[in-house]
Structures are given as structure tokens and as C-alpha cells.
């Protein structure tokens, strides 16, 4: 999961309220991170960062419904928050809402057409829905975005799998 925060309009004060929590997330200390994020939301219920990172923590803990709800709250208070919208697409896919995942990822692509993470999210959702042909150009767009080498290797393996057959593929 990425800790990238490309979002116009989210302010520095709100980021400062969650910065320490993100350090706990990076260290794998989810309970402490979640406690700090809860406190941030109690102080400011409109802090999209706090919702987003709650979603990140929940996703890492395998609590996909809770992750979905947290990412949805982040998107509600900050519709241009790309990382939250991409996180929501992944969480929707993981909870079985493939149409919702495709819709959220497509919205992210419409807002940020060159974003590799948005293309990756829609590729996984399309592959899970069995639309291999539609997933391929999005994985290719992801590769053109210049991801890290590990992600490139994984995406190339996914492309090979997509080209091999028919039907849905869950890439988790």
C-alpha cells in the first residue's frame, strides 16, 4: 500500500494531525496508528487524511469492509483526494463490489488521466470481473507511469496471465 498523498486542497494542519500515525503505520504498529487516527477524527471529523489512513490500516489488517467505509468517508470530504479514491476502488474490489470498484477507479482516471495507481486499480477490478481485454491497456498505462521495479515485474506477470486465457482473475 502506498503512502502517497497527491491531493490538492488538503491542508497542512490536517496532515500534521495524522503525520505521527503514518509513522506508526510504516512501522507496522496498527493499534497505535488507529488510536492516533481516531483521536484526529474526534478533533476534526472532516480530516480526509485521517479517514484515508484508517482505510490503509484496515486494509493492511484484512478488514476490507472497514477499509471501504474509511476510504469512502475520505472521498466524501475530499473528492479530489486521489489516494483515497484509489484505496476505495481496491477496497470495493476486495469486498466483491466489482462494479463499484470499476466506477471509482474510472472516476480517478477521469480526474487524473495519467495516474498509474488509478490505472492499476481499474485493471485489477476489470480482471476480477472477467474483462481481461479491458484490463490489459490499463496495466500497460500503469507500466508507462514508471512504477518501482517490483511493481513492474508484477504487472508484466499479470499481463502474461491476462493474455493466456479467459474468465476472471483475482490478483490478490
- Looking at the structure, tell me whether residues 109 and 90 fall in a common domain: no
Could you give the CA distance from residue 9 to residue 12 in angstroms, rounded to a whole number?
A: 9
Q: Cα dist. 143→58, 112, 115, 116 in Å?
A: 27, 16, 11, 7
- Looking at the structure, tell me whether residues 138 and 157 fall in a common domain: yes
- Looking at the structure, tell me whether residues 23 and 84 fall in a common domain: yes
- Looking at the structure, tell me whether residues 28 and 73 fall in a common domain: yes
pLDDT, tens digit (0-9, with 9 covering 90-100), for 95-146? 999 999 999 999 999 999 999 999 999 999 999 999 999 999 999 999 999 9
pLDDT, tens digit (0-9, with 9 covering 90-100), for 57-101? 999 999 999 999 999 999 999 999 999 999 999 999 999 999 999
Domain range enclosing 169: 102-172
Name the 3-class secondary structure at 5. Answer: coil
Concatenated DSSP letters of 52-99? HHHHHHHHHTT-HHHHHHHHHHHHHH-TT-HHHHHHHHHHHHHTT-HH
Concatenated DSSP letters of 132-170? HHHHHHHHHHHHHT---HHHHHHHHHHHHHHHH--S---
pTM of the model: 0.90
- Looking at the structure, tell me whether residues 121 and 83 fall in a common domain: no
- Looking at the structure, tell me whether residues 3 and 76 fall in a common domain: yes
Q: Name the CA dihedral angle for 19, 24, 25, 31, rounded to a multiple of 10 degrees.
A: -120
- Looking at the structure, tell me whether residues 52 and 109 fall in a common domain: no
Number of domains the chain is built from: 2
Amino acid at each position: 500500500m502506498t503512502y502517497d498523498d497527491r491531493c490538492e486542497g488538503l491542508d497542512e494542519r490536517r496532515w500534521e494531525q495524522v503525520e505521527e500515525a503514518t509513522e506508526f503505520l510504516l512501522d507496522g504498529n496498527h493499534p497505535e496508528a488507529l488510536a492516533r487516527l481516531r483521536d484526529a477524527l474526534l478533533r476534526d471529523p472532516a480530516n480526509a487524511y485521517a479517514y484515508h489512513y484508517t482505510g490503509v490500516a484496515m486494509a493492511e489488517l484484512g478488514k476490507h469492509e472497514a477499509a471501504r467505509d474509511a476510504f469512502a468517508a475520505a472521498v466524501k470530504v475530499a473528492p479530489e483526494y486521489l489516494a483515497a479514491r484509489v484505496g476505495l476502488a481496491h477496497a470495493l474490489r476486495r469486498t466483491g463490489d466489482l462494479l463499484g470498484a470499476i466506477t471509482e477507479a474510472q472516476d480517478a482516471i477521469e480526474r487524473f488521466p495519467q495516474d498509474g495507481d488509478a490505472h492499476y486499480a481499474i485493471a485489477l477490478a476489470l480482471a476480477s470481473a472477467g474483462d481481461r481485454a479491458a484490463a490489459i491497456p490499463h496495466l500497460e498505462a500503469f507500466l508507462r507511469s514508471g512504477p518501482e521495479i517490483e511493481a513492474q515485474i508484477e504487472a508484466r506477470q499479470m499481463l502474461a496471465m491476462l493474455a493466456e486465457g479467459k474468465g476472471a482473475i483475482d490478483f490478490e
